Amino acid sequence: MSAFERVCALSELEEDTPRRVELDGVPVSVVRTEGEVFAINDICSHANVSLSEGEVADCAIECWLHGSSFDLRTGKPSSLPATRPVPVYPVKIEGDGADAAVFVSVTQES
């Protein structure tokens, strides 16, 4: 069983703008894009830099340092120089409208 933690209100996530949070010591980038919310480990598997400082497009996040892109759904790299995936985490939304909240679990990868 995985423990979900509240990370923010859904209304606080700007479309295609990563938000860095830390859950149980794990850096996570939370991204709202294409009508969904994703959570991916915030550290690039190629270089030890924050993915949340990169850009989001086509359901992928790009590392700002060397340009590797990672699929937000799977964590798999879609461009070099990265060759190893980064963990992705389950997300759930509770509530509706202005009361909706985003929860992420880092105790289990999705």
pLDDT digits (tens, 9 = 90+) for 91-110: 999 998 878 999 999 986 55
- Contact of 88 with 110, CB cutoff 8 Å: yes
**Interval 38-79: pLDDT, tens:** 999 999 999 889 999 999 999 999 999 899 999 999 999 998
Q: Buried (b) or exposed (e) across 66-81, using 16+ Cβ within 10 A?
A: eebbbbbeebebeeee
Say how many C-beta atoms besides its own lie within 10 A of residue 8's C-beta.
16
pLDDT higher than 60, residue 21: yes
- Contact of 10 with 101, CB cutoff 8 Å: yes
Whether this prediction's pTM lies above 0.75 is answered by yes
Total residue length of the chain: 110
